[in-house]
Copies of this chain bind each other. A is one copy, B any other.
């Protein structure tokens, strides 16, 4: 039987061996194979980790032997000896799983130091302080991550010695004090472990390797894997790498470089370095590093070698590299290279430049920009110079990006009025409700004192691209005196503030905003994205203006047109309220008749913009009590207006009150009780479509969507109601019209019964807000009371109302989509609502084969880019095979 290979020298592996060597090991192998000067080392495989667990958590002789053999080769390659007395080999030990994950063991550096080798190192580097400091750090880290001794205990020792020597910062520690620190550390170690600090370097190494293996099963790592649905049987690899020293001599040094400018994207190497120094010195900020150009003067050969290699690396990795290098006695080593972080502007420029230079293809270029980041380029901002010296007067959650200034007004009506007079307005309220929509349309920004990222204000503002900050806790609004106290200062209506929706900061006074000019590269990129966006992107739009915006941004349809917002207009709301207060069907129908012409015009407006593009109109969804007035004053006003007694209004309000309105009398349940509501809406849709078809000589196919369906009996009844109404209406008009009737999938039961429902529906549209609420049993309105606790304690990876819960709601989406396609392989399935504009959620929809996502018009570019990238990644992974 052939021996199993448990250790790979860096040059024995390759990039494809990620599962066996881990991500880090595969990367090191790649560099080594490309001939880059990498400090020699080897990787212990993930398979070894798994066998370690099968082997009572002990390193068995065969594995030990391979480790010893690999170490011997490293000694030969470096000319150093592990634990040696003339030129001791020091190594780093690092974990490296196939998928990067937190919770695993940290790096142990300088392993191989003991009471003897530390003095050899002191002589070799001619820097005893450095050697001692390395040793004390090693003892500290080893004790912490390998021996699990509480790190605070070492910090306490260090602090007391610093105090004694009157040294404040770590870098002020002298040789003398470090000698004491090491002595005391060893005492502490003995007390904790009942053993002397390990002087045998091979014992050090063995223990460090075991500690990496063990860390695979520590609690944080297990929780992380559970949270992300990752397998517990992958195991981790261990990387053992020889250390190099940039502080060896004056022909030594260390530095960091980017192969292109990460801020502007300019194609020019950009970096810094320090002579006779270790990486830490750069981080500690004691010495100021020199620009990389200077290296040309100091060590011209090294500079030439460096600049040639890194350009080759860029081509080889096909991306801008962020490279750490060290020079040890004139010899260049690469410690790490990775793709460089960059600004949105740089990302755009680099992607398109590299395509033009022939380094990457169009598909790859598409994957090189972060959609979320690029989207920011489209919103106005404040000048960063201006902001530098300003303190925000309040900080809230950045609910909707953009920068705006304006005068404070405290209710929607005043905002609408003042805007009409030409004023710049900002709506400031505790929170917003559907009553405030008109104000939100007219203001420059919305600021609320309560609510979270998924509150009404946040959702609606993002939907209309309005700058918005929510949950500003230090804002105290007094509606009676019409004043706002922010911090210590009291503002009156008409006072100016400025609002940065990207950061959640509110500033005093009027700050100038600047529009970001959409860069030419963005336009190019979006053209490419269109070629590869294989999943449709539609928009949520409830009126002709939004529909037009959606088209401008490139939407190919309306995924969700809510009809409830249409009833909040000045005059219509009274008819809506009359309808709700009606005692009998006749009065109800009479009020609905008054609403009918408005509804028809609403739909005509949208159809005139969208023409033949699909526009999914959702029939009335919210519970009726949402439309009734909430304050005494409003009740009184309504009573006068429609001539219904105050008692009657209050009585009906009380009767409609619900303990759990989310799970109450709403959605299609309204139409089961009051079919005349949907009848009116359907009549309006049919007449609007027929009239616009005639007007523009086109062929609109209405898409009608029924909310909150729970099963087929409900759907049979309502589909019949809708179809009968359509047929009767067309009969009356003597017209023809194709139409589609689909449903919202919002209840868990709809997901479970998707197969039956698919037989009765022309399309499915997931309403993932409600579905998330019911899947978790989280009320979106109440979730904020404990969500922070859940997210900070890692009980939830993210807010499931912002990013789809793949393991729960995602499983439902897959289940329902698969079941529907079994019945009807061509079934159109999409999602609408907040998740449709969230990149991670869009990828989940793509994964499960949805036909479209629908999002706010302002998120369409982002969504398209995300979809194009998903396609690109898929194509790239196919090419990889």
Contacts and interface: CB of A to CB of B under 8 A. Distances in A.
Contact of A749 (B714, B756, B775): B775
B660 A663 contact: yes
B663 A796 contact: no
A200 to B, nearest CB: 37
A876 interface: no
Given A713-B796, A774-B777, A790 B659 contact: no
B786 A774 contact: no
Contacts of A222: 716
A752 B811 contact: yes
A789 interface: yes
A669 interface: yes
A747 B770 contact: no
Contacts of A808: 710-711, 748-749, 752-753
Interface in A616-661: 658-661
A793 B717 contact: yes
A132 B223 CA distance: 84
B752 A226 contact: no
A750 to B, nearest CB: 9
A807 interface: yes
B659 A661 contact: yes
Given A227-B713, A662-B659, A717-B795, A673 B777 contact: no
Contacts of A711: 795, 807-808
Given A661-B659, A662-B660, A713-B794, A752 B773 contact: no
A226 B660 contact: no
Nearest to A812: B752
Nearest to A785: B665
Given A752-B807, A782-B658, A777 B746 contact: yes
A708 interface: yes
Interface in A213-259: 222-223, 226-227
A402 to B, nearest CB: 29
Contact of A660 (B661, B786, B789): B661
Interface string A783-826: 00110011001111000000001011001100000000000000
Nearest to A777: B747
Contacts of A756: 226
A652 to B, nearest CB: 13
A507 interface: no
Interface string A751-780: 011001000000000000010011111110
Contact of A775 (B661, B665, B752, B794): B752
A672 B793 contact: yes
A672 B778 CA distance: 15
A789 B675 CA distance: 12
Contacts of A669: 786, 790
Contact of A713 (B223, B659, B663, B773): B223
Interface centre among A672, A714, A749, A756 (most CB of B within 10 A): A749
Interface string A477-519: 0000000000000000000000000000000000000000000
A749 B800 CA distance: 12
A663 B793 contact: no
Contact of A659 (B747, B782, B786): B782
Interface in A355-384: none
Nearest to A748: B748
Contacts of A661: 659-660, 779, 782
Contacts of A708: 777
A781 interface: yes
Nearest to A751: B748
A779 B93 CA distance: 57
A664 interface: yes
A444 B489 CA distance: 64
A276 interface: no
Nearest to A717: B795
Contacts of A713: 223, 226-227, 794-796
B672 A786 contact: yes
A615 interface: no
A712 interface: yes
Contacts of A773: 663
B789 A673 contact: yes
A626 B716 CA distance: 40
A756 B789 CA distance: 22
B775 A748 contact: yes
Contacts of A789: 672-673
A779 B749 contact: no
Contacts of A779: 658-664
Interface string A412-430: 0000000000000000000
A796 B672 CA distance: 12
Contact of A786 (B665, B775, B786, B794): B665
A653 to B, nearest CB: 14
A795 B746 contact: no
Nearest to A809: B749
B795 A776 contact: no
A781 B659 contact: yes
A776 B812 CA distance: 14
Interface centre among A663, A664, A793 (most CB of B within 10 A): A663
Nearest to A666: B777
Interface centre among A673, A752, A753 (most CB of B within 10 A): A752
7 contacts: A222-B716, A226-B712, A658-B782, A662-B663, A663-B777, A714-B795, A752-B812
Q: Kindly list the 4 A-B residue pairs having the minimum CB-CB distance in the complex, ordered from nearest.
A: A660-B779, A663-B779, A659-B781, A748-B748
Given A663-B773, A673-B789, A747-B775, 9 more contacts: A223-B713, A662-B777, A664-B785, A669-B790, A672-B786, A710-B808, A748-B748, A774-B775, A774-B777
